[in-house]
Amino acid sequence: MPKVVVATRKSELALAQCRKFVSDLIRKHPDLEVEELHVVTTGDRIVDRPLTEVGGKGLFLKEIEEALFDGSADFAVHSMKDVPPDLHPELCIACVPQREDPRDVLITTGRTSLGDLPEGATLGTSSLRRALQLRLLRPDLEVVPLRGNVGTRIRKCRQGEVQATVLARAGLLRLGLEAEADEVLEPETSLPAAGQGCLAIEVRQADQELAARLQVLQDPVAAVLARAERAVLAAVEGDCRTPVAAYAEKRGSRLELRALLANPDGSHLRRRDGAIDWSEDQVAVAEWAHDLGLQLKNA
Protein backbone atom coordinates (compact mmCIF):
# COMPACT_ATOMS: atom_id res chain seq x y z
CA MET A 1 0.00 0.00 0.00
CA PRO A 2 2.13 2.90 -1.23
CA LYS A 3 -0.39 5.58 -0.24
CA VAL A 4 -3.07 5.86 2.45
CA VAL A 5 -5.34 8.67 3.60
CA VAL A 6 -5.71 9.70 7.25
CA ALA A 7 -8.84 11.53 8.40
CA THR A 8 -8.54 14.17 11.08
CA ARG A 9 -10.33 17.21 12.39
CA LYS A 10 -8.62 20.41 11.31
CA SER A 11 -8.19 22.13 14.66
CA GLU A 12 -4.63 23.04 15.56
CA LEU A 13 -4.48 20.30 18.20
CA ALA A 14 -6.04 17.63 15.99
CA LEU A 15 -3.56 18.38 13.21
CA ALA A 16 -0.61 18.44 15.62
CA GLN A 17 -1.39 15.06 17.13
CA CYS A 18 -2.24 13.54 13.75
CA ARG A 19 0.99 14.77 12.17
CA LYS A 20 3.08 13.53 15.09
CA PHE A 21 1.55 10.07 14.76
CA VAL A 22 2.02 10.03 10.97
CA SER A 23 5.64 11.16 11.35
CA ASP A 24 6.30 8.30 13.77
CA LEU A 25 4.48 5.89 11.47
CA ILE A 26 6.57 6.83 8.42
CA ARG A 27 9.75 6.37 10.42
CA LYS A 28 8.61 2.78 10.99
CA HIS A 29 7.37 2.35 7.40
CA PRO A 30 9.46 4.58 5.09
CA ASP A 31 7.65 3.18 2.04
CA LEU A 32 4.32 4.58 3.22
CA GLU A 33 2.89 7.82 1.83
CA VAL A 34 0.16 9.42 3.95
CA GLU A 35 -2.25 12.09 2.74
CA GLU A 36 -4.43 14.14 5.11
CA LEU A 37 -8.20 14.47 4.79
CA HIS A 38 -9.53 17.34 6.93
CA VAL A 39 -13.05 16.71 8.24
CA VAL A 40 -15.43 19.14 9.94
CA THR A 41 -17.50 17.27 12.51
CA THR A 42 -20.80 18.10 14.20
CA GLY A 43 -18.90 19.07 17.34
CA ASP A 44 -16.80 21.51 15.31
CA ARG A 45 -19.76 23.12 13.57
CA ILE A 46 -21.86 23.80 16.66
CA VAL A 47 -19.78 26.10 18.83
CA ASP A 48 -22.44 28.41 20.27
CA ARG A 49 -23.97 25.81 22.59
CA PRO A 50 -22.57 23.49 25.28
CA LEU A 51 -22.04 19.91 24.14
CA THR A 52 -24.57 18.84 26.75
CA GLU A 53 -27.25 20.65 24.75
CA VAL A 54 -26.15 19.23 21.42
CA GLY A 55 -26.32 15.75 22.91
CA GLY A 56 -25.53 12.32 21.61
CA LYS A 57 -22.31 10.35 21.44
CA GLY A 58 -19.43 10.76 19.08
CA LEU A 59 -19.99 14.42 18.20
CA PHE A 60 -16.39 14.64 16.98
CA LEU A 61 -16.43 11.28 15.17
CA LYS A 62 -19.52 10.82 13.00
CA GLU A 63 -18.29 12.54 9.85
CA ILE A 64 -14.81 11.08 10.22
CA GLU A 65 -16.20 7.56 10.46
CA GLU A 66 -18.34 8.25 7.40
CA ALA A 67 -15.09 8.95 5.53
CA LEU A 68 -13.82 5.53 6.62
CA PHE A 69 -17.04 3.86 5.47
CA ASP A 70 -17.11 5.51 2.05
CA GLY A 71 -13.43 4.85 1.41
CA SER A 72 -12.30 8.47 1.23
CA ALA A 73 -10.07 7.77 4.25
CA ASP A 74 -8.18 4.65 5.32
CA PHE A 75 -7.59 5.41 8.99
CA ALA A 76 -8.35 8.18 11.48
CA VAL A 77 -6.59 9.79 14.43
CA HIS A 78 -8.85 10.75 17.35
CA SER A 79 -8.46 11.95 20.90
CA MET A 80 -9.47 8.84 22.79
CA LYS A 81 -11.71 10.76 25.19
CA ASP A 82 -13.90 11.75 22.21
CA VAL A 83 -14.46 8.13 21.17
CA PRO A 84 -17.60 6.40 22.53
CA PRO A 85 -16.90 3.02 24.15
CA ASP A 86 -19.03 1.12 21.63
CA LEU A 87 -17.69 1.35 18.08
CA HIS A 88 -19.48 0.34 14.90
CA PRO A 89 -18.77 -3.40 14.37
CA GLU A 90 -17.02 -2.68 11.06
CA LEU A 91 -14.51 -0.37 12.75
CA CYS A 92 -11.84 -0.94 15.39
CA ILE A 93 -9.11 0.86 17.28
CA ALA A 94 -5.97 -0.58 15.73
CA CYS A 95 -3.45 1.34 17.82
CA VAL A 96 -3.16 3.27 21.09
CA PRO A 97 0.20 5.11 21.03
CA GLN A 98 2.13 6.17 24.11
CA ARG A 99 -0.05 8.21 26.45
CA GLU A 100 0.61 11.88 27.12
CA ASP A 101 0.08 13.36 30.61
CA PRO A 102 -3.63 12.74 31.38
CA ARG A 103 -4.02 15.42 34.05
CA ASP A 104 -6.11 18.59 33.81
CA VAL A 105 -4.57 22.03 34.21
CA LEU A 106 -5.96 25.34 35.43
CA ILE A 107 -5.47 28.52 33.42
CA THR A 108 -6.39 31.82 35.04
CA THR A 109 -6.57 35.50 34.20
CA GLY A 110 -4.27 36.43 37.07
CA ARG A 111 -1.80 33.55 36.82
CA THR A 112 -2.93 32.13 40.14
CA SER A 113 -4.04 28.79 41.60
CA LEU A 114 -7.43 27.26 42.29
CA GLY A 115 -7.21 28.10 45.97
CA ASP A 116 -6.26 31.72 45.30
CA LEU A 117 -9.01 32.56 42.81
CA PRO A 118 -11.17 35.40 44.13
CA GLU A 119 -14.50 34.63 45.79
CA GLY A 120 -17.18 34.00 43.17
CA ALA A 121 -14.72 33.80 40.29
CA THR A 122 -16.05 32.67 36.91
CA LEU A 123 -14.89 29.24 35.73
CA GLY A 124 -15.33 28.77 32.00
CA THR A 125 -15.92 25.16 31.03
CA SER A 126 -18.49 23.06 29.21
CA SER A 127 -17.31 19.88 30.95
CA LEU A 128 -19.71 18.67 33.63
CA ARG A 129 -16.91 16.47 34.99
CA ARG A 130 -14.54 19.39 35.50
CA ALA A 131 -17.18 21.77 36.83
CA LEU A 132 -18.42 19.24 39.37
CA GLN A 133 -15.00 18.41 40.77
CA LEU A 134 -13.67 21.94 41.02
CA ARG A 135 -16.84 23.17 42.70
CA LEU A 136 -16.42 20.46 45.34
CA LEU A 137 -13.30 22.36 46.40
CA ARG A 138 -14.59 25.84 45.54
CA PRO A 139 -18.41 25.90 45.83
CA ASP A 140 -18.35 29.67 45.34
CA LEU A 141 -17.16 29.44 41.73
CA GLU A 142 -19.61 30.53 39.04
CA VAL A 143 -19.47 28.05 36.18
CA VAL A 144 -20.16 29.52 32.74
CA PRO A 145 -20.13 27.71 29.37
CA LEU A 146 -16.91 28.04 27.40
CA ARG A 147 -16.25 26.27 24.10
CA GLY A 148 -13.60 26.57 21.43
CA ASN A 149 -10.22 25.16 20.57
CA VAL A 150 -7.28 25.29 22.97
CA GLY A 151 -6.01 28.66 21.78
CA THR A 152 -9.45 30.24 21.87
CA ARG A 153 -10.11 29.16 25.45
CA ILE A 154 -6.70 30.35 26.63
CA ARG A 155 -7.20 33.72 24.91
CA LYS A 156 -10.70 34.22 26.35
CA CYS A 157 -9.38 33.52 29.82
CA ARG A 158 -6.30 35.72 29.53
CA GLN A 159 -8.48 38.57 28.22
CA GLY A 160 -10.79 38.28 31.22
CA GLU A 161 -13.95 36.85 29.63
CA VAL A 162 -13.69 34.27 32.41
CA GLN A 163 -11.34 34.21 35.38
CA ALA A 164 -10.35 30.59 35.01
CA THR A 165 -10.69 27.63 32.68
CA VAL A 166 -9.54 24.01 32.66
CA LEU A 167 -7.81 22.18 29.82
CA ALA A 168 -6.14 18.82 29.33
CA ARG A 169 -2.39 19.08 29.88
CA ALA A 170 -1.89 16.59 27.03
CA GLY A 171 -3.19 19.13 24.52
CA LEU A 172 -0.90 21.86 25.81
CA LEU A 173 2.10 19.55 25.62
CA ARG A 174 1.28 18.50 22.07
CA LEU A 175 1.05 22.16 21.04
CA GLY A 176 4.13 23.26 22.94
CA LEU A 177 2.00 25.44 25.23
CA GLU A 178 2.70 23.78 28.57
CA ALA A 179 3.94 27.11 30.01
CA GLU A 180 0.36 28.44 29.75
CA ALA A 181 -0.74 26.21 32.65
CA ASP A 182 -0.95 28.02 35.98
CA GLU A 183 -1.61 24.88 38.02
CA VAL A 184 -1.48 21.18 37.23
CA LEU A 185 -4.49 19.52 38.85
CA GLU A 186 -3.69 16.15 40.36
CA PRO A 187 -6.25 13.35 39.95
CA GLU A 188 -7.25 13.82 43.58
CA THR A 189 -8.50 17.28 42.57
CA SER A 190 -9.75 16.62 39.05
CA LEU A 191 -10.03 12.97 38.05
CA PRO A 192 -9.43 12.79 34.28
CA ALA A 193 -11.90 11.72 31.62
CA ALA A 194 -11.68 8.14 30.37
CA GLY A 195 -8.89 7.95 27.82
CA GLN A 196 -7.63 11.49 28.42
CA GLY A 197 -4.10 11.88 27.05
CA CYS A 198 -4.48 8.88 24.73
CA LEU A 199 -4.94 8.79 20.98
CA ALA A 200 -7.18 6.27 19.23
CA ILE A 201 -6.14 5.19 15.74
CA GLU A 202 -9.29 3.90 14.05
CA VAL A 203 -9.43 1.69 10.97
CA ARG A 204 -11.86 -0.58 9.15
CA GLN A 205 -11.95 -4.10 10.61
CA ALA A 206 -11.39 -5.54 7.13
CA ASP A 207 -8.11 -3.66 6.58
CA GLN A 208 -5.89 -6.05 8.48
CA GLU A 209 -2.72 -5.19 6.55
CA LEU A 210 -3.04 -1.52 7.41
CA ALA A 211 -4.01 -2.35 11.01
CA ALA A 212 -0.83 -4.39 11.34
CA ARG A 213 1.24 -1.46 10.12
CA LEU A 214 -0.44 0.90 12.56
CA GLN A 215 0.09 -1.47 15.47
CA VAL A 216 3.85 -0.97 15.41
CA LEU A 217 3.20 2.23 17.40
CA GLN A 218 0.95 0.54 19.97
CA ASP A 219 1.94 1.19 23.57
CA PRO A 220 0.88 -1.91 25.52
CA VAL A 221 0.52 -0.09 28.84
CA ALA A 222 -1.53 2.78 27.38
CA ALA A 223 -3.75 0.29 25.54
CA VAL A 224 -4.61 -1.63 28.73
CA LEU A 225 -5.22 1.52 30.78
CA ALA A 226 -7.47 3.02 28.10
CA ARG A 227 -9.41 -0.22 27.77
CA ALA A 228 -10.05 -0.32 31.53
CA GLU A 229 -11.22 3.31 31.62
CA ARG A 230 -13.46 2.84 28.60
CA ALA A 231 -15.01 -0.26 30.18
CA VAL A 232 -16.16 1.94 33.07
CA LEU A 233 -17.58 4.44 30.58
CA ALA A 234 -19.47 1.67 28.81
CA ALA A 235 -20.90 0.33 32.06
CA VAL A 236 -22.30 3.69 33.19
CA GLU A 237 -23.42 4.57 29.63
CA GLY A 238 -21.56 7.84 29.95
CA ASP A 239 -21.59 10.65 27.40
CA CYS A 240 -21.15 14.44 27.38
CA ARG A 241 -24.33 14.82 29.44
CA THR A 242 -22.86 12.74 32.27
CA PRO A 243 -20.33 13.90 34.88
CA VAL A 244 -18.13 10.78 34.74
CA ALA A 245 -14.41 10.19 35.18
CA ALA A 246 -12.23 7.09 35.04
CA TYR A 247 -8.48 6.98 35.54
CA ALA A 248 -6.26 3.90 35.54
CA GLU A 249 -2.57 3.66 36.43
CA LYS A 250 0.01 0.90 36.38
CA ARG A 251 1.62 0.79 39.81
CA GLY A 252 4.18 -1.96 40.13
CA SER A 253 2.45 -5.25 39.51
CA ARG A 254 -1.06 -3.82 39.80
CA LEU A 255 -3.50 -1.84 37.72
CA GLU A 256 -5.27 0.71 39.92
CA LEU A 257 -8.52 2.28 38.78
CA ARG A 258 -10.46 5.23 40.18
CA ALA A 259 -13.84 6.38 38.91
CA LEU A 260 -16.62 8.79 39.78
CA LEU A 261 -20.13 9.42 38.53
CA ALA A 262 -22.91 11.90 39.31
CA ASN A 263 -26.30 12.87 37.98
CA PRO A 264 -26.28 15.50 35.21
CA ASP A 265 -27.10 18.22 37.76
CA GLY A 266 -24.12 17.19 39.89
CA SER A 267 -26.17 15.46 42.58
CA HIS A 268 -25.70 11.90 43.86
CA LEU A 269 -21.94 11.87 43.49
CA ARG A 270 -20.40 8.45 44.02
CA ARG A 271 -16.88 7.06 43.72
CA ARG A 272 -15.35 3.63 43.33
CA ASP A 273 -11.77 2.44 43.15
CA GLY A 274 -10.07 -0.91 42.91
CA ALA A 275 -7.01 -2.82 41.77
CA ILE A 276 -6.27 -5.93 39.76
CA ASP A 277 -3.08 -7.84 39.02
CA TRP A 278 -1.34 -6.41 35.96
CA SER A 279 -0.63 -9.91 34.65
CA GLU A 280 -4.33 -10.52 33.95
CA ASP A 281 -5.18 -10.59 30.26
CA GLN A 282 -6.93 -7.60 28.67
CA VAL A 283 -10.31 -9.31 28.49
CA ALA A 284 -10.24 -10.05 32.22
CA VAL A 285 -9.16 -6.48 33.00
CA ALA A 286 -11.98 -5.06 30.89
CA GLU A 287 -14.56 -7.31 32.55
CA TRP A 288 -13.29 -6.33 35.99
CA ALA A 289 -13.38 -2.62 35.12
CA HIS A 290 -16.88 -3.00 33.65
CA ASP A 291 -18.03 -4.56 36.92
CA LEU A 292 -16.55 -1.64 38.84
CA GLY A 293 -18.47 0.70 36.55
CA LEU A 294 -21.71 -1.17 37.22
CA GLN A 295 -21.10 -0.83 40.97
CA LEU A 296 -20.66 2.92 40.41
CA LYS A 297 -23.82 3.17 38.31
CA ASN A 298 -25.97 1.22 40.79
CA ALA A 299 -24.59 2.80 43.99
Single out the catalytic residue among 31, 70, 74, 82: 82
- How is the chain classified by DSSP, letter by letter? --EEEEEEE-SHHHHHHHHHHHHHHHHH-TT-EEEEEEE--HHHH--SS-HHHH-SS-TTTHHHHHHHHTTS-SEEEEEGGGS-SS--TTEEEEE--PPPP--EEEEETTS--TTTSPTT-EEE---HHHHHHHHHH-TT-EEE---S-HHHHHHHHHTTSSSEEEEEHHHHHHHT-GGG-SEEE-TTTSPPPTTTT-EEEEEETT-HHHHHHHGGG--HHHHHHHHHHHHHHHHHT--TTS-EEEEEEEETTEEEEEEEE--TTS-S-EEEEEEEETTS-HHHHHHHHHHHHHHHHH-
Residue 96 burial (CB count, 10 A): 24
Strands 244-251 and 254-261: antiparallel
User: Rounded distance, CA 24 to CA 26, Å?
Assistant: 6
Which one, of 82, 84, 79, 76, lies nearest residue 8 by Cα?
76
Indicate if 82 belongs to the active site: yes
**Helices 220-236, 282-298: inter-axial angle, 10-degree rounding:** 30
Residues classed as catalytic: 82
